[in-house]
Each structure stands twice: as C-alpha cells, then as structure tokens.
Amino acid sequence: MSLEIANVSKSFDGAEAVLDDVSLAMHEGEFLALLGPSGSGKTTLLNVVAGLTRPDRGRLVLDGEDITDRHAGARRFGMVFQSYALFRHMSVAQNVDFGLRVLPRAERPPKAERDARVRELLDLIEMGDLGARYPAQLSGGQRQRVAMARALAISPKLLLLDEPFSALDAQVRQSLRGSVRELQRKVGVAAILVTHDQTEAFAIADRVAVMNTGRIEQIGTERELRDAPASPFVRDFLKAGAG
C-alpha cells in the first residue's frame, strides 16, 4: 500500500484554512503519527484520508489510483476512535463481525468464514474467551482492543486511529499502545495515528509529522526531529512536550 496526499487544503464556511497545502507520502506497512497541538489540523487531515471530509483542493492517490472522490465506504479503511464506538447491544464477537456483515453482498464472506475471522482476531487481541461478553462488561482497554479487531476484520488497506488512547489511564495507555504497535506489525497494515502526545507518537510510530496551523512543519523519526528541527515551532513544541 502506498498513499500520497498532494497539496490538500480545507476550510469550513469560508474561514481560515484548517489544512493549508498539505502533502506527504506513506510507505508500505508504515506507522505514521500526526502530532501537534489542538487546532493544528490533525483530525481534519485524518478525516480527509478517511473520506469523511472532502478537501477543497488537492488529491489523494492510493496505489497509483486517485481516490479523492471515492466515498468513505469504498476506500476500505479501518477506523478506531477515542470513544470506541462499539455497539452496546452487540456482543464482542458481533461487534468484530459487524464490518464483515455489512460488506456489499458480492464481497461479503459466508458466515462460517466470518466466524473464523472473528475467532482469529479475538485470539490476536488476546480476548479469545470473551466473545460472548458485551461492551459494558469490559474495561476501557478491552473495549479499545475490540475496536481495533473490528477495524481489522475487513482486512483494511489502511488503519486510521483518532486519539484512540486518550480516554484511558496512563498505565493502560502505555500497555495498549505497545499492543497496538505489535498488532499492526503482525497484520502488516499501514496506519496513521492522530495524537497530541509526543511520548505516544514516538513510542508507536516509524515517522512523525509535526503539524501547526494546518501545515506540516516537519516529518521524520524522533532523532531527526530532535536533532535537526526544521523550524522554531518544532524545536519549541518538542522541548515543551519533553518537559
């Protein structure tokens, strides 16, 4: 999977641009973090990639094909939200199966195949014996694991994570981000994480894109960003977060 975001801009109701000529390219199997303060454009960029928000200008190219006008459902991306977004009336297994069950009929696997996929994913997130439970019976960390499994069930081309750990306490957050990174590597799917927490970004991502007022100030590894910040903003933002 290769994804190119080219010269993407977006404003709402004629106001100042939330995204201002943003460009970046993702590599096969890469874990990329979008890092920046509130209002920097991270979530809007993620929503543009997901197909939930249409850019005013620019384009998105997936594996050489322009997907700028492709609606969200047709992009076959998996999304994990801060709020888990699990269906309370469905069991863990039913939640994981949901994405498979609502695929177009021509793409929908038979039930036996779906059940096998659900069992495989529950084992992968170390919840193989909890498929009959309901979200209210789970901890926050367990709910987020189920949300991950549901997003992965459709074998997405890209995994999108919008502040998925911010509602969890520090100990659970640290444990879960390690699990998510390991799971992403096992599955081999490329992923984009939105976060305002630089410790989290550097712990989980291969590269980090530092955003500010709708633009990407710099993209690189932790060492590249800290050793050679491209702007005073990057230098000061990382220094403040490190304290």
Q: What is the pLDDT of residues 28-48, one digit of tens each?
A: 999 999 999 999 999 999 999
Q: Are 82 and 164 in contact (CB under 8 A)?
A: yes
Give the domains, in start order, of the chain with CATH numbers: 3-242 (3.40.50.300)
| CB neighbour list of residue 229: distance below 8 Å, 6 or more residues apart | 218, 235, 238
State how far the Cα of 99 lies from the Cα of 210, in Å rounded to an integer.
32
Give the pLDDT confidence score for residue 131 in this predicted structure.
96
- Find, among 241, 236, 215, the residue nearest to 41 by Cα: 215
| Token pair for 195 | 């976060």
pLDDT tens column, 101-132: 988 889 899 999 999 999 999 999 999 999 99
Residues of the chain with pLDDT under 50: 243
Cα atoms in the Cβ-side hemisphere of radius 13 Å centred on 199: 10
Dihedral pair phi/psi, residue 93, rounded to 5°? -60, -40
Q: What is the pLDDT of residue 193?
A: 96
Give, in order, the Cα–Cα distances in Å from 178 to each of 19, 138, 204: 30, 19, 7
pLDDT of residue 48: 98
- Please report the pLDDT score of residue 242 as a whole number: 64
